[in-house]
Structure formats: C-alpha cells, structure tokens
C-alpha cells in the first residue's frame, strides 16, 4: 500500500457490479486468477472488481470503468474439472488511477480509495423499500445468511436493492458511483414506480 488513500491491487474485470457489503461468487480456472486468489489468501488481501465496458472476462484484455469495489475472499472450494470456487464480499470503493497488465496477463492497478458514505436513516417516504428488501432477503436465503441487516440505513438498503433488482449493469454502476444513500433510494423508488405504472397499463399482466 502506498498510503492511507492509495493502494496497488490486482484487478478482476467482470460483467457484473460488486457493491460494498455484497456477495460475489466466482468460478476460477485461468492461471492468472488462480495465482491471484492464492496470493490474496496467503497475504490476507483483496482484489479489485470493476465492470467491463469492452472486452471479456476470460482469455484476453478488457477495458473497465474507473470506479470499482475491493473484494475480500471469505470462502473457497475445489470444484469438478479443476475449477476453484470462491465466495468474496465487497468492501470499499476505489477509483482507478493507473493500470497495467503483467506478463501473465493479470491486471494490476493503482487505485485511490473513495470515502465511505455517511450513515443516514431512511427517510419516511422510502420506508417501503426497506420492507421490500426485508421480504426479498427472506426468500433469497443463503447468499445473505451471514450478513448483519441494517434496514434503518439508507446506504445498506439501497445497495442491497441495487444487487437484487433486475437492473442493467450500467444502472448498477450508476448506483455504485452515487455517494448519497437517500439519493440512491430515490432513484430506486422512481424506477419501481415506473415499473408499477407499466404493469398497471398492461392489460395482459
């Protein structure tokens, strides 16, 4: 680590958005990522996850967004066919300052850590979102079984809804980059209101 505000970390470009506190399950088979996972576990460090905007996850280079999330491995298992399954959890957000690709193809980036969002209680007009999340997580089960809920926290509720609602990756990225819990809830509330209006207007629904 360069300083309290910067670090150099390995980067795993993915077609998904990882949120702070959110779960991530991966099946690893490429040597560059198997080595990365081994090093992260040995040194008790994390790796960066950033959404791909051009390229692919496996077998080549990929261009990503600048804002991503640090992932820390919490469990792993050997799978059939030589695959390694890992479970990670999102921690802090970062902005990519500079990156390069090492000889084995692993992306390594210098990142600037972003400040944590201030903790803000859910405004009364968005209380329905906390209840919606509570019911949804009861149905989802294992992925959030070890997560301590914080249904009164705007940021926690907004991030969890951003993970589980059927949103496009670019929309999830937009929500990740917001730094205001109530603003994120307002975005989600507006999206849900629009969907409800469409359902009501659809005579076949």
* Separation of first and last alpha carbons in the chain: 54
Start-end of CATH 1.10.4060.10 domains in the chain: 124-201
> Taking a C-beta distance cutoff of 8 angstroms, is the pair 96, 111 a contact?
yes
At 1 the pLDDT is 39
CA dist., res. 32 & res. 30, Å (int): 6
Q: Does domain 6-113 have CATH number 2.30.130.40?
A: yes
At 163 the pLDDT is 95
At 202 the pLDDT is 60
Dihedral sign, Cα of residue 135, residue 139, residue 144, residue 147: positive
CATH number of 124-201: 1.10.4060.10
User: pLDDT in tens for each of the 205 residues of the chain?
Assistant: 344 799 999 999 999 999 999 999 999 999 999 999 999 999 999 999 999 998 777 666 788 999 999 999 999 999 888 899 999 999 999 999 999 989 988 999 999 999 999 899 999 999 999 999 999 998 887 777 777 899 999 999 999 999 999 999 999 999 999 999 999 999 999 988 855 555 555 656 5
At 60 the pLDDT is 67
At 204 the pLDDT is 61
- For 119, residues 6+ apart whose C-beta sits below 8 A from its C-beta are 153, 155, 181
At 82 the pLDDT is 81
Start-end of CATH 2.30.130.40 domains in the chain: 6-113
Pairing of strands 6-14, 47-55: parallel
pTM: 0.88
At 85 the pLDDT is 95
């Amino acid at each position: 680590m360069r300083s309290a505000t910067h670090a150099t970390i390995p980067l795993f470009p993915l077609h998904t958005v990882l949120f702070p506190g959110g779960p991530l399950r991966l099946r690893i088979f490429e040597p560059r990522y198997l080595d990365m996972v081994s090093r992260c576990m040995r040194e008790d460090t994390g790796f960066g996850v950033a959404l791909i905007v051009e390229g692919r996850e496996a077998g080549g280079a990929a261009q990503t967004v600048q804002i991503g999330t640090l992932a820390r491995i919490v469990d792993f298992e050997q799978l059939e066919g030589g695959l390694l399954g890992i479970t990670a959890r999102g921690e802090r957000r970062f902005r990519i300052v500079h990156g390069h690709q090492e000889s084995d193809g692993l992306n390594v980036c210098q990142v600037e850590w972003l400040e944590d969002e201030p903790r803000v209680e859910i405004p009364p007009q968005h209380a329905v979102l906390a209840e919606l999340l509570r019911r949804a997580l009861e149905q989802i089960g294992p992925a959030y079984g070890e997560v301590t809920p914080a249904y009164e926290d705007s940021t926690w509720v907004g991030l969890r809804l951003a993970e589980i609602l059927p949103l496009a990756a670019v929309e999830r990225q937009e929500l990740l980059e917001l730094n205001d819990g109530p603003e994120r809830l307002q975005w989600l509330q507006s999206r849900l209101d629009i969907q409800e209006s469409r359902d009501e207007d659809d005579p076949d629904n």
